[in-house]
Chains A and B, each alone.
Chain A
Amino acid sequence: MVLLKLEKVTKKFGGIVAVDSVDLQVEQGEALGIVGPNGSGKTTLYNLISGVYTPDEGRIIFDGKDITGMPPHARTPLGLARTFQIPRPFGSATVRENVAIGAMFGRASMDVEEALREADEHLKLIGIYNLRNKEAKLLTPLEKRFMELARALAMKPKILLLDEVMAGMHPSDIEKIIETLQKIRKEEHVAVVSMVEHLMHAITKFAERVVVMHQGRKLIEGETARVLNDPRVIEVYLGKRVV
């Protein structure tokens, strides 16, 4: 079943076309990787899906509903959750409160008591339970990223949009995170879209399907191993062979 569908979505900033007529489909419970170099339009794509921007052209359908013009706070309860490339914790709140806020206002829509209990579960799952009473602004950048993941999961989304969530993590942590993501995918049929710039080995382990973005357009999409070995993809990252 198609969960998220983008139809010819375009977003321009002045003269720059950040996302250029992109079509994209995400199936329920799918593991999709979006790769592309810096400035290829990946983050803009996320901002369009989560409602930070509205597209200049095209439509976005989520779970059978047209959400193109919906404000972000109305989309999230339908089952969207995302992390940010540069983590955005609610700094003066504790880690536990941060995650609980996810459970309160995401699709989970829990009341305060329930959400705080739920937060503990997710902190254990991600392995940062020991940090729960710390102010979020005191975390290291890496810990903040773990916290954002816990917060997004606590929202009980149908689709989880991860923005460079594994960048800078220790390989054993990446392993653990991928394992957790595969588990929620299988058990709760959550579609996980992971966006990376350079962590190709993580993507090969995680994604069933990959979309490569380049200059705001979809360059190629398909099965992970095949796509990442495509000469066009190598060219985008390394440039043309000159000798």
Chain B
Amino acid sequence: MNIRAYKPLIPMIAVYGVLITIALTVDGMWQPVAYFMFYIALGQAFNIFLGLTGYVDFGYVAFMGLGAYGMGLAIKNFGHLGLIALPIGIFLAVIMSMLLSLAVGAVALRLRGAYFAIATIGVNEGFRYLVEGVRLWGGTEGMILSGFMRKTYGREMTNFFSTFLSDVLVILIAFSAAVVTIAILNKKMGYALLALREDEDAAKVMGINVTKYKIMAFITSAGFAGLIGATAWTLKLTYIFPEDVFNISYTVEAIVIVMLGGAGTLLGPMFGGLIYGIMKYYLSVIFPGIQLLILAPILIAIVVVFPEGLIGYIRKKARDTRLSEYLR
């Protein structure tokens, strides 16, 4: 393993360090930072698929939703065993989202471009109507776990889960997704994905099994989405409603974050998520109600000025300088 190829993690660790320090030392900053970290994690996880393959999955939130249900089912069914329910929930979340992505990917990843995007919208909506229609996992009434959790784990422990542990786990998930991203970028897989993103037919002729690599990226990305759903939603909010967890707006936010920071880069999702999270949070404080009206033109302006995303742009400027070793 080439340690030097992992240098771009240094600026990332620095930013995380600053954020965590602010969260722990400044009064009332823990929740805002956790809010930003959610968007960073979302961008970092989605980037593994969207950024590295260039395919747009409009049904991405389905994996988060499934992860949320995985954790919910674990707490409901294994809560009586104690804290072991949490690792079981994490495990279930990953397995369920990965299995769905394998099934979807094996079929839909044979489609290209817009056809793939449309097929994946169908998956998300279909899954939501399945849950609601056949009254799976509580149907439209969802899963409300707060009462059960308070009874099983006690009020304080439940509060600890939703105001601290879930946030810490989201930070860990975001960082793990970043480590996985740079590991992929440094391996053959990264080069295979780069080639297929640029010219899929030429990549095939060059000996690259494009379907295999696309599915690998898809499953990895979906697994992280499941983890985010399990922690940032179920553990933090202690309830799950299908119309919330299968809400396409999260997919759109994830796309915006990845494009903003730079698709296919390591650091892009972190800066994209941070910018997006900060703007959304403070605009809603300053201009409550019309925050999205102000946010949208700002986002459009950024994407117009930096079509390759912020990190994509900086990387280009820093090419052939020593800084480029730290940018990826």
List the interface of chain A (C-beta within 8 A of B).
50-52, 71-77, 82, 84, 88-93, 97, 100-102, 104-106, 111-113, 133, 151, 155
Alpha-carbon separation in the docked complex, A91 to B202 (Å): 12
Contact A100 B206 (CB under 8 A): no
B194 at the interface (CB under 8 A from A): yes
CB distance from A161 to the nearest CB of B (A): 10
Assess whether B202 is in contact with A88, with CB atoms less than 8 Å apart: yes
Distance in angstroms between the alpha carbons of A89 and B203 in the assembled complex: 10
Contacting pair B188 A111 (CB below 8 A) = yes
| Docked complex Cα distance between A61 and B185 (Å) | 36
Complexed CA–CA distance, A38 and B203 (Å): 26
User: Does B186 belong to the interface (CB within 8 Å)?
Assistant: yes
| Contact, CB under 8 Å: B207 / A52 | no
Is B254 engaged at the interface, CB distance under 8 Å to the other chain?
no
Which of B308-328 touch A at CB < 8 Å? 319-320
Does B204 contact A71, Cβ atoms closer than 8 Å? yes
Interface of B is mostly: helix
Q: Could you write out 18 A-B pairs with CB less than 8 Å apart?
A: A50-B205, A51-B204, A52-B201, A73-B209, A88-B201, A90-B202, A91-B199, A93-B194, A101-B191, A101-B194, A101-B195, A104-B188, A105-B188, A105-B208, A133-B319, A151-B206, A155-B206, A155-B207
Residue of B nearest to A46 (CB): B205
What separation, in Å, do the CA atoms of A50 and B188 have in the docked complex? Answer: 22
Residues of A within 8 A of B205 (CB): 50-52, 72-73, 76, 82
Q: Tell me, yes or no, whether B25 is within 8 Å of chain A by CB.
A: no
Known pairs A72-B205, A73-B204, A155-B207; A100 contacts B2 (CB<8 A): no
**Interchain CB contact (< 8 A) of B187 among A77, A105, A112:** A112
* Cβ–Cβ contact A133 & B320, under 8 A: yes
Contact present for B204 and A72 (CB under 8 Å): yes
Once A97-B194, A133-B319 are accepted as A-B contacts, the answer to whether A106 and B206 lie under 8 Å apart by CB is yes
Further 7 A-B residue pairs, CB within 8 A, beyond A73-B205, A88-B202, A101-B191: A51-B204, A90-B202, A101-B192, A104-B191, A105-B207, A112-B186, A112-B191
A139 to B: closest C-beta gap in Å: 14
Asked whether, in the complex, the Cβ of A73 is within 8 Å of the Cβ of B207, the reply is yes
Q: What's the tally of chain B residues with a CB closer than 8 Å to chain A?
A: 22
Smallest CB separation, A75 vs chain B (Å): 8
Q: Which residues of B sit under 8 angstroms from A102, Cβ to Cβ?
A: 206
A108 — nearest CB in chain B belongs to which residue? B207
CB distance from B255 to the nearest CB of A (A): 19
Q: Mark B202-239, 1 if CB is under 8 A from A, else 0.
A: 11111111100000000000000000000000000000
B206–A105 CB distance below 8 A = yes
Complex CA distance for A72 and B192, rounded to whole angstroms: 15
Is B244 interfacial (CB-CB < 8 Å)?
no
Q: Across the A-B interface, give the 7 residue pairs with the lowest CB-CB distance, nearest first.
A: A76-B207, A105-B207, A90-B198, A88-B202, A72-B204, A73-B209, A72-B205
Question: Is there contact, CB below 8 Å, between B191 and A73?
Answer: no
Closest-by-CB residue of B relative to A75 is B207
Do residues A101 and B186 form an inter-chain contact, with CB atoms below 8 A? Answer: no
Give chain B interface residues in 151-191, CB to chain A under 8 Å.
186-188, 191
Given A88-B199, A88-B202, A91-B198, A77–B207 Cβ distance below 8 Å?
yes
Given A73-B210, A97-B194, A155-B207; A84-B202 close (CB under 8 Å): yes
Give A97 Cβ to nearest chain B Cβ, in Å: 7
- Assess whether A92 is in contact with B186, with CB atoms less than 8 Å apart: no
Interchain CB contact under 8 A, A92 and B210: no
In the complex, the answer to whether B188 meets A90 with C-beta atoms within 8 Å is: no
Asked whether B201 lies within 8 Å of A105 as measured between CB atoms, the reply is no
Docked CA distance A91–B195 (Å): 9
**Inter-chain contact A93/B208, CB cutoff 8 Å:** no
A208 to B129, CA, bound (A): 67
Which residues from B are CB-within-8-Å of A51? 204-205
Cβ contacts under 8 Å, A104 to chain B? 188, 191-192
Query: How many angstroms from the CA of A122 to the CA of B291 in the assembled complex?
Result: 55
**Chain B 110-127 residues near chain A, CB threshold 8 A:** none
Are B195 and A90 in contact (CB-based, < 8 A)?
yes
Chain B residues near A97: list those with CB within 8 A: 191, 194
- In the docked arrangement, what's the CA distance between A61 and B41, Å? 50
Q: Which residue of B lies closest to A50 (CB)?
A: B205
Q: A residues within 8 A CB of B209?
A: 71, 73-74
* Least Cβ–Cβ distance between A187 and chain B, in angstroms: 23
Rounded to whole angstroms, the CA-CA distance of A90 and B188 in the bound complex is 15
Instruction: Provide the residues of chain A in CB contact with B199, threshold 8 Å.
Output: 88-91
Are A106 and B2 in contact, CB atoms less than 8 angstroms apart?
A: no
Q: How far is the CB of A63 from chain B (nearest CB, A)?
A: 15
